[in-house]
């Protein structure tokens, strides 16, 4: 599963990267700050899912 993470918490992004299991292989495409997040950026990396986490 190709994932785009949008978060303002670097520690959370690092934790998320370790969540892959044998059933779900997570490929982190990019980590973006909420201020940098845009629809055009999302289309550019072609994720299967966008995960948004703010503090």
Domains in the chain: how many in total?
1
What is the span of the domain harbouring residue 40? 2-53
| pLDDT on residue 20 | 60
Tell me the pTM: 0.62
With a cut of 50, list the residues of the chain below it in pLDDT: none
Strand order in the sheet with 2-7: 27-32, 2-7, 49-53
26: Cβ contacts below 8 Å, ≥ 6 apart: 1, 3, 16, 17, 19, 20
H or E, element range at 39? helix 39-45
| pLDDT on residue 24 | 65
| pLDDT on residue 22 | 59
| pLDDT on residue 16 | 77
| pLDDT on residue 52 | 80
7: Cβ contacts below 8 Å, ≥ 6 apart: 13, 16, 31, 32, 33, 34, 51, 52, 53, 54
């Amino acid at each position: 599963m190709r994932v785009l993470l949008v978060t303002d918490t670097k520690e959370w992004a690092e934790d998320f990267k370790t969540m892959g299991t044998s059933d779900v292989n997570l490929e982190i495409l990019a980590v973006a700050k909420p201020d940098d997040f845009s629809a055009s950026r999302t289309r550019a990396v072609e994720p299967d899912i966008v995960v948004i986490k703010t503090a």
